[in-house]
Homo-oligomer: A and B are copies of this chain.
C-alpha cells in the first residue's frame, strides 16, 4: 500500500467531486482526506485528495484526463521526502530554524545544499553535514552572478528553492527557471513596506504591528502569490533595531509554516493567488 496526493484544478462544472472520487473508488483507492474549493470569480475548481492503495499511475491519470473538463491540471504526487536548496546571505535565524527542524523533527525535508553570496553561514551549515557553497557576487554583474548561482543549484535538482533571507533581487530569467518553486520570506507584512529596509520604513511610519510574508517569487519584486503571513505587536519603545530583532521570530515561523504547507502539497497557485488547504 502506498500514499499519494492528487491535486486537481480545472474549470468548474457540475459533478466534479463525484467524477474524481468515483475514479478513485473504481481504482480501489481509499480517500484519506479531501479538500475542495471553487473560485467563483474565476470559475475554477480546486481539489486535493490524499489517497491510499495500490496505484497504477498511468491508468488513473488517463481516467481522470478522460473525465475532467478541458484546461484541467492533474498532479499525482508520491509521499516521498522533498529536496530543497536554500539561498542565504548573512542572517542565520530562518536558515537555523529549517536546519534544526529538518534534523530534529518538525520538517520532513532533505536539505540538499545551502548557497550563500557570503561565507558567513558556512560554519553553521557544515555543523549539520550539509554542503555549503559560497557564490560571491563581488566583481560580477547580476547576470554573471545568477548564472553561477544557477550552476551551483542545478546539480541538486531541487523540488523547491528557498530564499531564507537572501538579500539580492532576482532577474526574471532566474525566476523563470524555478517557476512556482521559488519561495521567499519578506520581512514585512506585504503589501506594506515593499522594497528595501522595511523595518526602517515601519519605524518611520510609527506602526504598532510588524509582520512577515512568505510568498512565491515571480517577476515583480515582492508581488508574488502570498502563502502565509503573520504579525507581532510592538510599541513606541522599539527602536528600528528592536524591530529587526522582533521581526526575526515572525520571519522564521512564517517561513517554516509556509515550507510545511509546500512540502505537504497543500498549495495551488492561480491568478497570482494561492489556495492553501489546511
In the assembled complex, which residues on chain B have CB atoms less than 8 Å from the CB atom of A41? 239
- Given known A209-B211, A228-B208, contact A191–B192 (CB-CB < 8 A): yes
* B229–A209 touching, CB < 8 Å: yes
Chain A interface residue count, CB cutoff 8 Å, equals 66
A25 within 8 Å of B by Cβ?
yes
Per the bound structure, the CA–CA distance linking A35 and B237 in Å amounts to 12
Q: CB-nearest residue of chain B relative to A240? A: B41
Inter-chain contact B15/A21, CB cutoff 8 Å: yes
In the complex, chain A residues 131-168 whose Cβ is within 8 Å of any chain B Cβ: none
Instruction: Identify which of B34, B209, B253 contacts A17 (C-beta below 8 A).
Output: B34
For A128, give the chain B residue with the smallest CB separation.
Answer: B127
Chain B residues with CB under 8 Å of A37's CB are 236-237
List the B side residues contacting A22 at CB < 8 Å.
18, 22
A209 with B225, Cβ < 8 A, contacts A106-B245, A237-B37 known = no
One digit per residue, 1 when the CB lies within 8 angstroms of any chain B CB and 0 when it does not, for chain A 35-61 equals: 111111100000000000000000000
Indicate if A75 sits at the interface (CB-CB under 8 A). no
A278 CA / B237 CA spacing, docked (Å):
9
Q: Taking the nearest CB of chain B, how far is it from the CB of A17, in angstroms?
A: 5
> Could you say which of B30, B38, B256, B276 contacts A235, with CB atoms under 8 Å apart?
B276
Q: Of A3-11, A65-73, A92-100, which binds chain B?
A: A92-100
Please determine whether A106 and B248 come into contact, CB atoms closer than 8 angstroms.
yes
B207 contacts A229, C-beta separation under 8 Å: yes
List the B residue with the shortest CB-CB distance to A256.
Answer: B249
Q: Is A77 an interface residue (CB 8 A)?
A: no
Answer yes or no: A221 CB below 8 A from chain B CBs: no
Q: Which of B35, B205, B226 contacts A208 (CB 8 A)?
A: B226
Ordered by A's residue number, 18 sampled pairs between the chains whose C-beta atoms are within 8 Å are A14-B25, A15-B21, A15-B25, A17-B34, A18-B18, A18-B22, A33-B36, A35-B35, A92-B100, A92-B105, A100-B100, A190-B205, A206-B273, A208-B226, A208-B229, A209-B211, A209-B231, A235-B278
Q: Given A18-B25, A22-B22, A235-B278, 4 other A-B contacts at CB below 8 A?
A: A93-B100, A191-B193, A208-B276, A235-B276
Top 7 A-B pairs, shortest CB-CB distance: A206-B273, A92-B104, A18-B21, A192-B192, A127-B127, A96-B100, A236-B275
